[in-house]
């Protein structure tokens, strides 16, 4: 004798309320978002309140942290706290632009390949594999050598154009599983074009997954940009947390005992990326009932 499940499907409003209920009770999500909001607020409001540029010479060199210079000064007499605040802004810009570009490309390729299948899927899958095997560092070296373009925008563009394949593969797999569902078949029989089916029927059912994918791409872009900055392939103008680490290394901050020069930017990168991943774990627990704490 079989048992029939008489539970009614939840409405979209009920689903949102349930997600909000568990989100407000998830410690990982609240802590992660709290750290991100504090750092983001510092990056947005800080430069306005400070009232001076990142590379201004403000005092004697190599001063330790004090009430006047919270993070001390470097070997050139520049305020490290001011550089840290401007560096946070640049770091968030690179993460948002690079992660956003990668997310848009990955979603477009993943949705089209997963929904259309056949030859379209094979061509897009081949393109994804080509991007995966491209030596990105060598390409960036060539760009810097021959074009001489070293800006935050170009760095973010390059990161976005080379970091989308894994997202495309994951979204393609999810789309494959959704394209055979009844609601998609009904939309197809009603004559709805493929673009609207993807945007109105498939994508909304993957909204939580897509948001978490963007968070991972955001954090990954920050790590890639910081690595490029540290090895000297970052922007030639402005300040970022990676460039602060590169300057501290270049001017022997560790040997001179200037710990206040390299610890803040390293801690800032760790805090931003760590908070993003903690928040992502929290979101996964919110959207996945099997992972929720009872």
pLDDT in tens, 119-151: 998 999 999 988 888 887 777 777 766 766 578
- Is the pLDDT at 20 greater than 80? The verdict is no
Put simply, whether the predicted model's pTM sits higher than 0.75 gets the answer yes
Measured CA to CA in angstroms, residue 289 lies from 16, 88, 292 at distances of 13, 35, 5
Q: Which of 275, 156, 281, 278 has the alpha carbon at shortest distance from 224?
A: 156
The arithmetic mean of pLDDT across residues 275-290, rounded, is 85
At the fourth CATH level, the homologous superfamily of domain 97-294 is: MetI-like (1.10.3720.10)
The arithmetic mean of pLDDT across residues 206-232, rounded, is 89
pLDDT in tens, 145-178: 676 657 888 889 988 998 899 999 999 999 988 8
Q: How far apart are the first and last CA of the chain?
A: 31
The arithmetic mean of pLDDT across residues 42-68, rounded, is 88
Judge contact between 184 and 202, C-beta under 8 A. Answer: yes
What gap in Å lies between CA 8 and CA 197, rounded to an integer? 25
């Amino acid at each position: 004798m079989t048992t029939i499940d008489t539970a009614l499907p939840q409405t979209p409003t009920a689903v949102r309320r349930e997600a909000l209920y568990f989100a407000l009770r998830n410690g990982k999500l609240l802590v992660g978002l709290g750290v991100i909001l504090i750092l983001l607020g510092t990056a947005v409001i800080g430069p306005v309140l400070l009232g001076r540029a990142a590379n201004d010479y403000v005092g004697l060199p190599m001063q330790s942290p004090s009430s006047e210079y919270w993070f001390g000064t470097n070997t050139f007499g520049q305020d490290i706290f001011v550089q840290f605040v401007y560096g946070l802004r640049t770091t968030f810009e690179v993460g948002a632009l690079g992660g956003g570009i990668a997310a848009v490309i990955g979603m477009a390729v993943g949705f089209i390949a997963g929904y259309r299948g056949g030859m379209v899927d094979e061509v897009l899958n081949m393109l994804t594999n080509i991007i995966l095997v491209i030596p990105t560092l060598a390409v960036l070296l060539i760009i810097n050598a021959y074009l001489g373009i070293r800006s935050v925008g170009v760095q973010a563009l390059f990161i976005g154009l080379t970091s989308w394949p894994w997202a495309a593969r994951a979204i393609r797999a999810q789309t494959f599983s959704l394209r055979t569902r009844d609601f998609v078949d009904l939309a197809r029989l009603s004559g709805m074009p493929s673009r609207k089916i993807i945007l109105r029927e498939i994508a909304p059912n993957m909204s939580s997954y897509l948001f978490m994918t963007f968070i991972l791409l955001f954090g990954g872009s920050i790590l890639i940009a910081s690595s490029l900055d540290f090895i000297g392939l970052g922007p030639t103008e402005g300040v970022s947390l990676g460039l602060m680490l590169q300057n501290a290394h270049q001017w022997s901050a560790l040997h001179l005992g200037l710990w206040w020069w390299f610890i803040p930017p390293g801690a800032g990168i760790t805090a931003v990326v760590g908070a993003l991943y903690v928040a992502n774990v929290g979101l996964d627990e919110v959207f996945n009932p099997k992972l929720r704490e009872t």
